[in-house]
Amino acid sequence: MSAPLLDIQGLNIAMRLARGGRLPIVNDLSLTLQAGDTVGIVGESGSGKSLLSLAVMGLLPPAAVVSGRILFEGRDLLSLDDDGMSEIRGRRIGMIFQEPMTALNPAMTVGDQIAEGLVRHEKLSWNAARDRAVELLDRVRIPDPKARASAYPHQMSGGQRQRVGIAIAVAMRPALMIADEPTTALDVTVQAEVLEILDDLCQRESMALMLISHDLGVIARMCARTLVLYAGRRMEEGATRAVLTGPLNPYTKGLLRAVPRRRADDGPLETIPGSVPGFARLPAGCVFSDRCLDVVAACQAGEPAWTSPLPGRGVRCIRAGEEVSA
Amino acid sequence: MKTPLIDIRRLTRDYAGGGLFAKPSLTRALDDLTMTVEAGTIHGIVGESGCGKSTLARILMALDKPTSGDVLFDGEPLFQLSPKDLMRKRRDFQMVFQDPFGSLDPRQRVARIVAEPLHVLEVKPSRQEKRDRVMALLEAVGLTAAQADRFPHEFSGGQRQRIAIARALITEPKLVVADEAVSALDLSVQAQVLNLITRLKRERGVTFLFITHNLAVVDAVADQVGVMYRGRLVESGPARAVFERPLHPYTQVLAEAEPSVTKFGRPPRAEPKTSQPLKAEPGQGCAFLPRCRLASPRCASEVPALRSVLPGRQAACHHAETMLAEEP
Amino acid sequence: MSAPDLPHAPAARQRPPLRPNLVIGGAIVLFLFSVALLSLVWTPLPPTKMQIVMKLKAPLEKGLFGTDHLGRDIASMLMAGAWNSLSIAVSAVLLGAAAGTALGVTAAARRGLFEAISMRANDVIFAFPPVLSAMMLGALLGTGRGTAIIAIAVFMVPVFARITAGAAAQVWARDYVLAAMSAGKGRALITVEHVLPNIANQIIVQVAIQLGLAILTEAGLSFLGLGMAPPAPTWGRMLADSQTYLGTAPWLALMPGLAIALTVFGFNMLGDGLRDLLDPREKGRS
């Protein structure tokens, strides 16, 4: 087996506090992606999922303290300096953001923004790069790409801007694409189109995708594997279908139950009681123990270890074993 | 037959665009919209951005005036009331907004925020009475009286939305317009807020106009639903029936586009459209025509009116019967 | 969202660490105000007392900072000058801030024609340098404390009008304003209850920064003889008087120059520090 494309081992991220001390956010996170893999990172606000993507991009805020390893194509990203990182970022790792407007330059035509990276990294001439930009706009299914290449971001709709964002990210044919809530701001029909474009690109270019989303449906649509995060910990991992149809961790189960759906008996929707705790006030033991419906005394005794009760599955719950045998 | 709580009659709202240098243009946000909302129900309005659902909310809250048409609230035409009568009427309708971070004034304490709508009352309650009502409501929405003296930034998104709901309820309104009220919330919190809304309907008889882009959310709580496209109502009926059996192609497109935890991988590709895409002249024909799989020449020339297709079910489509005949 | 998704949950309220800008700026400003107030009751020598025999003495040779060409004690003059400069600057900025804020929030609340006219009028006023207004006002009212205050205040009005109009427009776009409108509140009431409390921080920061500018302007006016009438000592006139003796007695220019620089620096530091402390952007999404 070849070396993995991205190999995150024992990643910990803490934030230095203004008043001194450190607040641990991401704890003991490991994740491996082969070329062409699609992995969904599921988490609610305060799960640390965005910090994870920023860590891989080398874009963590200065107050972050990182330990562990992020091996990408064999190089440890955490030990790279800024120059080395920006060499990889954009060229080998592309990124798509939630609100493309903030990631686009309002004073530059979208065609030039796509071409810019090609000129800088691939040493294309501006003319050749602009031609490539038109091709890329066509690839992300922007109608009349030649004319739209000379449009400015504000002249486009949200869906079109997100397509431009994707075109910029794929221009360098990255081996890994990180998409942080790429369709959250879009309408459902536009979201479906953008997801299809992304899906096409992954398949055609055998690009690996790390999709971060709070929407389990989007993950089900896009990702072969799923990693569920809660309060900075991975709670469950496995093939998406297996995780969503046979969850082992009570948190995953709770999330799935909380997906709004019509109840036959018109009874109340199922919920997870309470709300996501702040990182400063996590419960003792298992971080989910204060909201868990299956909690037992042992849950509060210590943080459960990451175990693999089934092949290809990982879970952090002391009661997962009962679940598997049941 | 009892009068509906809200009777919207041929509501149209145009916005003038352009400016000093751009050429003037007219955008029609609401186009001849007619619908009714029965008291004591949760009425869902579904549509994508630009369909006019937020304009509808603003007009129902009397924050904006229609270009033509009127809204009968409890039988009274809202836009023919004197300012004084409108002020009195305001206690009967309140609103919950989408962004739980933008809808609460960061400089005010929760008690003051929740009490704000009491301003519309002619007889202002005493300070103690005010405080009692705030406390009772905070408890009714699942917060504690002790939290009344905190500032909004001390609460999570779900808790803030509860505060916003408490504020909307303090005048004991008949109608609460909830504009994307749970869209910004985490999944685990979303269901809690939806349950709260259902409970308030059941226990207090509050009518909710629940505006959202999320079909699953509407399906989970709404009794009735209206689907909007480009300022028009294209389908309406009981929520369960509409989602089980859409009678408008747009409703179907929306339902199919929505991701779900039971749909894995790439959806089957939609059949290719007719080779010659039909185009309607602006102002003529069906607005959904360019995206419609059932488009026919009639759709290009004749605007489909909202009509009864089945008892209680309405659709604005020439081909609603075709939809009905198809296998679900 | 690119920001780390830290929970907004109410962690124990963070005490902001001491900010060097705030501390240094605050200390300088506090010191200056103390000196100015002290000068009302005590100065080493009467600042207007001339002793020609003692003229042009170097610092420490006579008094702390030496004497000027008329033998007046420079330290005493600086102290009295501090009161004159600060009182003019503070009155002018407060006056300008009040008028400008009133104009700005009204423009944001009314929009339309009122906004267009008042903002264009602001641009016209802003185009007049305070020196010019002071000359015109001086011709009308005669020079003096009042003229200087009004001339600087007039210059401040557009600055505050523009800042508050922009900040208020942002508040008007928030949903909580819509909520207040659906509670039947009028524009004036919403301005008082929601808009002003939410833009107060920006106004305070701006007051501190504009105070520095006002000090500078006041010094400029009195340098040109458009400020307070002699013999009242002002830093600007001390500078003007020093010109002839720049070669022989450089401390005559240096002392008031340093006083002006220190004051402007202090106010700017204070403004920056206050901005760090109060700027809502620092407090997450409040």
In chain A, domain spans: 250-315
Are A258 and B158 an interchain contact pair (Cβ–Cβ within 8 Å)? no
All residue ranges of chain B with pLDDT < 50 are 272, 274-275
Q: C197: nearest CA in chain B? A: B107
The range of the structural domain enclosing residue C83 comes to: 20-278
Quote the CA–CA distance of B155 and B101 in Å, as a whole number: 10
Structure tokens at A228: 């569920």
Nearest alpha carbon to residue A250 among A206, A301, A289, A192: A289
Q: CB-based contact (8 Å) between B117 and chain C?
A: yes
Per residue in A74-87, pLDDT (tens digit) is 889 988 888 888 88
Give the position of tokens 């207007």: C48
Establish if C7 belongs to a structural domain: no
Residue A99, both tokens: 């609100």
Across C57-82, b (16+ Cβ under 10 Å) vs e yields bebeebbebbbbbebbbbbbbbbbbb
On whether residue C82 sits in a domain, the answer given is yes
**Cα distance between residue A134 and residue A111, in whole Å:** 7
**What pLDDT is recorded for position B278?**
61
What residue in B sits closest to A220 (Cα-Cα)?
A: B264
Q: Is residue C72 part of a domain?
A: yes
Q: Are A218 and A182 in contact (CB under 8 A)?
A: no
* Residue indicated by tokens 């060229």: A91
**Percentage of residues of chain A with pLDDT beyond 90:** 46
Distance CA C42, CA C76 (A): 9
Domains of chain B (ranges; CATH) run: 6-230 (3.40.50.300), 234-325 (no CATH)
What is the three-class DSSP state of C70? Answer: coil
Q: What is the pLDDT of residue B270?
A: 57
Question: Token match 């309220």: residue?
Answer: C13
Considering only residues 91 to 110 of chain A, which have any Cβ-Cβ distance to chain C shorter than 8 Å?
97-99, 102
Per-residue pLDDT band for A1 (boundaries 50, 70, 90) equals low
CA distances from A36 to A31, A176, A209, A224 (A): 15, 8, 7, 10
**Joined tokens for residue B178:** 């909830």
| Rounded CA separation A250/A255 (Å) | 9
pLDDT for C221: 87
For residue C81, pLDDT over 50 is answered with yes
Smallest Cβ–Cβ distance between B61 and the set C182, C185, C284 belongs to C182
Closest CA to A218 of A98, A100, A138: A98
Assess contact for C22 and C271: CB atoms under 8 A. Answer: no
Residues of B in contact with A244 (CB under 8 A): 261, 264
Q: Are A319 and A251 in contact (CB under 8 A)?
A: no
- Residue C61 belongs to a domain with what CATH number? 1.10.3720.10
Q: Which of A17, A49, A275 sits opposite C5 (nearest CB)?
A: A49
What's the Cα-to-Cα distance from B280 to each of B48, B227, B288, B291, B322, rounded to whole Å? 21, 21, 10, 12, 21
Chains that touch C (3 or more CB pairs under 8 A): A, B
Span C168-196, pLDDT tens digits: 999 998 999 999 998 889 999 999 999 99
Chain centroid offset of residue C158 CA:
14
- Take residue C45 and report the two structure tokens written for it: 């020598």
**To the nearest whole percent, how much of chain C has pLDDT over 70?**
91
* Complex ipTM > 0.90: no
Place of tokens 């002619």: B122
pLDDT average, residue stretch A148-168:
87
Helix (H) or strand (E) holding A68: strand A64-72
In a domain, C9, yes or no: no
Number of domains in chain C: 1
Helix (H, G, I), strand (E, B) or coil at A113: helix
User: Which pTM does this prediction carry?
Assistant: 0.83
* Residue A284 touches partner B, C-beta closer than 8 Å: no
- Report how far apart, in Å, the C-alpha atoms of B144 and of each of A188, B141, B166, B204, B284 are: 37, 9, 12, 20, 55
The number of residues in chain B equals 328
pLDDT at res. C8: 40
CB contact burial B279-295 (16+ within 10 A = b; e otherwise): ebeeeebbbbbeebebb
**Can you tell me the distance from the alpha carbon of C83 to that of C40, in angstroms, rounded to the nearest whole number?**
8
